[in-house]
Structures are given as structure tokens and as C-alpha cells.
Amino acid sequence: MNELDEHAGEAAQHYAAAYAIHYTERDLLGALRAYGQVIELYPSAAEAQYSRAQIRNIVDLVVPAAEQLSSQVALALEHLQPNSDDSTAGAQ
């Protein structure tokens, strides 16, 4: 087994464990943390994409849609606002 296959197997095992926490144990907080670990450890693996989708499912379940939208708008505004430190750097 090569290193790529080994990492794919590890990612699948971690995702399966997170999925079990989510759907078998019904521990949403534990699942959220476990999915986050999958993303952190295997960011380019298919299981990271699956974990992102499961995190969105959990968010949709526990966070009201209006609150999600207001948070997303606030985040977008934060990223669109010129940073005062950056605005002076380009003005030389």
C-alpha cells in the first residue's frame, strides 16, 4: 500500500468515526469537532468535502436561517471593508 492509499484509508476511517458520532450517537457537538478534525488533517481528501457538507447540515439544523444570513452578511462586510493597516501600505 502506498502513502496516498494509506492517507485515503485514514481519512475514510476518521470520516466514518465522525459520521457515527453524528448519526449513531447523535452527538452534534462531538460530530462537529470530529468533522473539523477530518478537514484539518485531510484538507484535500474527498472526506474533507463530505465533512464540510455534514457541518453545513448541523449548522442548518441548529442555527436559524435568519441568524445564518446575518452572520454571513457580517462576515462578507468584514472581508470587503478596507483594512486600515492595508490602506496605508499601498499609498507610498
Residue 60 has pLDDT above 70, yes or no: yes
Domain count, the chain: 1
Whole-number pLDDT of residue 83:
77
Q: What is the tens place of the pLDDT at every residue in 12-56? A: 999 999 999 999 999 999 999 999 999 999 999 999 999 999 999
DSSP assigned state of 2:
-
Q: What percent of the chain has pLDDT over 70?
A: 86
Listed residue (76, 7, 20) closest to 48, CA to CA: 7
Decide if 41 is inside a domain. yes
Give every CB contact of residue 51 below 8 A, 6+ residues apart in sequence. Answer: 15, 18, 35, 36, 38, 39
Decide if 91 is inside a domain. no
Length of the chain: 92
Decide if 27 is inside a domain. yes
d(CA 77, CA 59): 21
Domain hosting 52: range is 3-81
The string of DSSP letters for 23-45 reads: HTS--HHHHHHHHHHHHHH-TTS
